[in-house]
Homo-oligomer: A and B are copies of this chain.
Amino acid sequence: MSTQCKYCPLNRKDAFVDLTPSEIDFMQKFKVAEHSIDAGEPILIQGSDAPQLFTVLSGLAIRERHLQGGKRQVISFVFPGDFIGLQSGFAAQMGHSVIARTPMRLCVFNRSELWNFFKSYPERAFDITWHAAIEESFLGESLATLGQRSALSSVAWAMVKIFQRGQTLGMTQDNSISLPFTQRDIADAMGLSLVHTNKTLNKLKHQQLASWSDGVLQINNIKALADVAMTELHDQPKRPLI
């Protein structure tokens, strides 16, 4: 039995646009289940033709793309509130996998009903498109990072982005956040080798900007960190919840 949307723990968070009661009722009709999955399990698989879409209720994941030759690119980190699997609703198949990094709870929708969203509730369709457009924007920023920033700037940029995302979700304590990602994940996200990523993280630590150890990211000086990252800190917009 699927849990009541009106009790959705995410809807109460500041990070999200509040859904109206009528929207909540509508979503309830499309929610087909709530899945719990374990850390390490795949949610969506690159190349497959997934019949379901998900909203992350809790837990963290990684979007990753595998290339011939065993290399892996981490596309982005997935946080609660993210809507995943949209690609398979439009492209023939997923261009990347999504792998859980912690135990997760997912809200499940059938892809076959995607069209109903558009037809019968344009507000929700608009919000789905919001997610696609914002993700596109973010990937553009990531592209600029991999293409133009130095290793030090790249890693600093990632730390800022991850921390800020966690902050708006209330996942931080003071200036630290605990994360399930490994240095290899960071390395594969920034297009750097594991070794060099480790040395770069050390440099950030010695410069008293940020430290990463035992899965805890601590930000000592986010302003200076953003400078190193050659980026500006601006506050996160509220996100619509699917």
Interface residues, chain A, with chain B CB atoms under 8 Å away:
63, 65, 67-69, 71-73, 75, 86-87, 89-92, 95-96, 115, 118-119, 122-123, 125-126, 128-130, 132-137, 139-144, 146-149, 188-191, 230-231, 237
Contacts and interface: CB of A to CB of B under 8 A. Distances in A.
A130 to B, nearest CB: 5
A140 B139 contact: yes
B126 A115 contact: yes
A231 B73 CA distance: 14
B75 A133 contact: no
Contacts of A86: 129, 133, 136
Contacts of A128: 129
Label chain A's interface by main secondary structure. Answer: helix
B118 A122 contact: yes
Contacts of A96: 140
B91 A137 contact: yes
A67 B125 contact: no
B65 A129 contact: no
A141 B122 CA distance: 30
B136 A92 contact: no
A192 B132 CA distance: 28
B146 A147 contact: yes
Contact of A118 (B125, B141, B190): B125
Contact of A73 (B63, B67, B148): B148
